[in-house]
Amino acid sequence: MDTRQLAVRRVEQARHESRGAYCAGCALFSGVVAFILYLQQQPSHAPVSIVEHVRPLRPVGTLSLPASPAAAVRGGSVAGGGGRPQEHESMQPMAVLNRERARVSGQLSGLFKVYRPAPLLRPGGSLDVPETLERAVQGSAADGEVMLLCVGGSGSMRAGMNLIYNFRAMGLYHMLILASEAQVCESLWESLPSLACVHWPSRFARPRPPSLYNTMFKGTALLFFEARKLLLEKLVVQHQLNVLHLDADTVWFANPYPIFKSLYKDYSLIIQTDNPFVNAGIMYIQNVRAGDAGAWVLEELNRRIERFTYTPESVRELPHSGWSTPPHFANADEQANLNDIITSALNGEQTYASGVEFYEARFKRDKGSAAARQKMSNGRWVHATQQGDVLPARKHLVGLSPDSRYEKLVHLCKMGLFGSVQTAQLRVPHNATAAPSGLLLAPEWLFSHFPYGAFFPSFRKCHDDSWEWQKASVLEQRLCMPTFRVPVVMVHMAGLRNGQWGRRGVMRALGVWHEEADKVAKDSWLSLDTPKLLLTEGMSSRFASMKEFDHFAARLILLGMLLGRRVVIPPMPCHKQWTQAAMEPRHLRGIEVGCGPHKQCAWIPFPHFKEAWCSGVDFIYDIDFREMQQNGKVSDADISTLHASDLRLGASATIETISGAALPTARVLRIDAPSNGRNDPFEWIPLDGFRSRAGWKNSDSFPRHVLTALEAIKGFGPTQTTIFKDCMHSLATSND
């Protein structure tokens, strides 16, 4: 995403932080409303009912949402005791993938190293304590390498832990977390006590003057942008470490270190390509030393962030911004400033034009400044600030041809992506004695953007039916990685504007979500924490639009919650036009998953840039269930079957109808329906009441009775209530 898009996106997010109100109107039921499940296979039993003040469908048993217990203490990067294999030696998908890619690389397999730091317990703490960083480095760095990741709220914690677990499966244990507060480190340590984690109270508490930039954007994000670049400088310049600087919204399909240490070993700054040059979230810094151009880039970035954050009036000192009056915008964005610095290092002259001065006029115009409006209406001025320094800087870029010796190491589905890349020598402006540093604008097969760019074409190539899927392993079929080729090494999901919760849903559909990540911040999502599953058969082909499928999903999720079962979401009908439209990158309400016999089109819930919505509800996909069957984790003996016509909603019921009632106690309850039907088999579950706020408040409404039943579950608190309401509302009001 380019700098302008990033800035506009952050403004929009800041303007929409409050949750939208529910629409008016709801369906009311007179008398007592009950869920009645008539079990024709068990006629001797009474119907099972859900009524107010009654726990969920009996005899499901007592359900619980337990707090996350403290994990057993494990030293260092050791995965467990008793001879248990470590993560990179396990049969976890990413571990197997990494080992197979090493095997395919042949003589280059030695590049697949295991980076394991010293075995310390809870290394880290407050960076305001002088010795903390030294201890954190000891507990995170290995062979002069460390990975740096920022983790904040519950969604970020889960995405971050998924990244951590997947990296550990690749043998990359050398992670350092920068957390927003001490409690985040404590929560992460409950799951992984050996993880190095630091927080920086004084930096996060530092007051900021009221510039437009400081007040328009979310404060926590700005604090992270500032703190992580300061920490990056300390790690690189002071501790002389090579650092892989990460964002949590990334999926790493392959181990990048063999690439860093062979194909691109001569480049100090390997940074994701973006407009006009780089993205500030994903970069690998290696072999940088104090006084060289690479160190200057990091130091200058922190100087500029400090300047414009805390002395915004200094923007008037810049060549094109003397017109600005308070309140100044004073763009301190890390990506905007990094691109200006790259431009400066290429041209040999300091510039602030594209990243700071253009945005001074851009955002002050929106605040009613006449001078800014005049600047933005002057096409020559706009071109001079945006392109006047960038275009000459581009002339310093040099193409680097691909080295065919490393083709087996790259090993992509679409090898045509392995082409020329752009490089340059960076120099410190007006300092001829400073050593230059090599810059490489990372190719899209290495650091890709989502959902646009090279990722989806390569992703589709991986899914092509021309691969010999009948000869492929179960893992190759599930991940759609033929002979363990990958679409790209990493895909950055910043362009997917639905927050960490929504990105989690995409990762889960792709098969790269680690279940252990859901054990972090367990009270922040909606899960019954049960092995029991609710499965449907023969229903997906009935629906003629995404709207109909969303309504079906709402009813299925509701039914699963009331039955105390984890829902298995069926695939969408891939052959239908509405499904194909849903899977277009600009919509992304579905995604193709699996290859070979289990090829499916997975449903993705409505996204939200901040709240969890249905992405915060625990469900699995049909392809995951089929894999469980194939691996012997579920057998036919574990499945009991009901017909959809065996269930319906009763208009009234008494509490006595619950006594003696029974449901199949099998691990998997499968509900069948004829595949040639044209309606939703669960349409007897009313959704009208879920479309409005009033529907939840009225004591006689169906949603109120449902919520009362769910609130009887231990651990179903306000957070779970909010997620459930948001989920049901988003699906019930779907008009896709």
Q: Which domain holds residue 235?
A: 92-449
Residue 711 to residue 455: CA distance in whole angstroms = 43
Q: How far apart are the first and last CA of the chain?
A: 26
715 pLDDT band, cuts 50/70/90, is confident
Q: For residues 182 and 289, state if they share a domain.
A: yes
In this prediction, residue 53 carries a pLDDT of 24
| Residue 44 covered by a domain | no
CA distances from 251 to 158, 163, 255, 455 (A): 13, 7, 11, 11
Pairing of strands 600-603, 590-593: antiparallel
Closest CA to 68 of 189, 153, 197, 196: 189
| Residue 303 covered by a domain | yes
Residue 499 to residue 218: CA distance in whole angstroms = 14
CA distances from 697 to 26, 576, 687, 722 (A): 10, 39, 15, 13
Measured in whole angstroms, the distance separating CA 438 from the mean position of its chain's CA atoms is: 31
* Residues 669, 674, 680, 686, CA torsion sign: negative
Please answer whether residues 273 and 423 qualify as being in contact, where contact means their C-beta atoms are separated by less than 8 angstroms. Answer: no
| Residue 9 covered by a domain | no
| Residue 108 covered by a domain | yes
Q: For residues 436 and 540, state if they share a domain.
A: no
650 pLDDT band, cuts 50/70/90, is low
Which range is most confident: 24-28, 155-159, 426-430, 636-640?
426-430
CA distances from 555 to 308, 523, 563, 684 (A): 51, 23, 12, 9
User: 283 phi and psi, to 5 degrees?
Assistant: -160, 150
Burial 458-495 (b: 16+ CB within 10 A, else e): bbebbbeeebebeebeebbbbbbbbebbbbbbbbbbbb
Closest CA to 420 of 400, 437, 434: 400
Q: Of 110 and 10, which is predicted with more confidence?
A: 110
**SS3 of residue 604 by DSSP:** coil
In this prediction, residue 384 carries a pLDDT of 97
User: 206 phi and psi, to 5 degrees?
Assistant: -65, 125
Q: Of 26-40, 317-331, 563-577, which gets the smallest average pLDDT?
A: 26-40
Query: At residue 512, does pLDDT exceed 50?
Result: yes
**SS3 of residue 685 by DSSP:** coil
Pairing of strands 421-426, 437-442: antiparallel
Rounded average pLDDT over 551-561: 95
| Residue 34 covered by a domain | no
Which of 424, 449, 474 is the endpoint of a domain? 449
Query: At residue 547, does pLDDT exceed 50?
Result: yes
Beta-carbon neighbour count of residue 522 at 10 Å? Answer: 20
Query: At residue 430, does pLDDT exceed 70?
Result: yes
User: 434-492, pLDDT tens digit by residue?
Assistant: 999 999 999 999 999 987 889 999 999 999 999 999 999 999 999 999 999 999 999 99
Question: On the CB side of 163, how many CA atoms lie within 13 Å of its CA?
Answer: 31
Residue 129 to residue 188: CA distance in whole angstroms = 20
User: 35-62, pLDDT tens digit by residue?
Assistant: 444 433 333 333 333 322 222 332 223 3
DSSP calls for 507-543: HHHHT---GGGGGTTGGGSB----S-EEEEES-GGG-
Query: At residue 426, does pLDDT exceed 60?
Result: yes
User: 569-625, pLDDT tens digit by residue?
Assistant: 999 999 999 999 999 987 789 999 999 988 999 999 987 777 889 999 999 999 999
Rounded average pLDDT over 138-146: 98
3-state secondary structure 215-227: HHCCHHHHHHHHH
Residue 548 to residue 551: CA distance in whole angstroms = 5
Q: Does the predicted TM-score (pTM) go above 0.85? A: yes
Q: For residues 391 and 261, state if they share a domain.
A: yes
Query: At residue 674, does pLDDT exceed 50?
Result: yes
Q: Which helix (H) or strand (E) holds 709?
A: helix 702-711
Residue 504 to residue 498: CA distance in whole angstroms = 10
Closest CA to 493 of 481, 480, 508: 508
Q: Which helix (H) or strand (E) holds 213?
A: helix 212-216
In this prediction, residue 635 carries a pLDDT of 94
User: 256-278, pLDDT tens digit by residue?
Assistant: 999 999 999 999 999 999 999 99
Burial 429-441 (b: 16+ CB within 10 A, else e): beeeebbebbbbb
**SS3 of residue 245 by DSSP:** strand
Measured in whole angstroms, the distance separating CA 153 from the mean position of its chain's CA atoms is: 12
| Residue 415 covered by a domain | yes
Query: At residue 522, does pLDDT exceed 90?
Result: no
User: 66-114, pLDDT tens digit by residue?
Assistant: 333 333 222 233 333 446 789 999 999 999 999 999 999 999 999 999 9
673 pLDDT band, cuts 50/70/90, is confident
Which of 449, 473, 490 is the endpoint of a domain? 449
Number of domains in the chain: 2
Q: What is the CA radius of gyration of the chain?
A: 27
- The average confidence (pLDDT) of the chain is 86
Cis check for the bond before 276: say yes or no (omega within 30 of 0): yes
Residue 680 to residue 3: CA distance in whole angstroms = 45
Residue 409 to residue 111: CA distance in whole angstroms = 9
Cis check for the bond before 59: say yes or no (omega within 30 of 0): yes
Altogether, the residues listed in the chain come to a count of: 736
| Residue 345 covered by a domain | yes
Q: For residues 407 and 556, state if they share a domain.
A: no
Rounded average pLDDT over 124-135: 97
| Residue 365 covered by a domain | yes
Q: For residues 434 and 544, state if they share a domain.
A: no
549 pLDDT band, cuts 50/70/90, is very high
Please answer whether residues 367 and 325 qualify as being in contact, where contact means their C-beta atoms are separated by less than 8 angstroms. Answer: no
Which of 420, 449, 478 is the endpoint of a domain? 449
User: 494 phi and psi, to 5 degrees?
Assistant: -60, -30
Residue 521 to residue 248: CA distance in whole angstroms = 16
DSSP calls for 308-355: HHH-GGGGGGSTT-TT--SSP-----HHHHHHHHHHHHHHTS---III
Residue 458 to residue 490: CA distance in whole angstroms = 12
In this prediction, residue 517 carries a pLDDT of 92
Closest CA to 306 of 233, 362, 384: 233
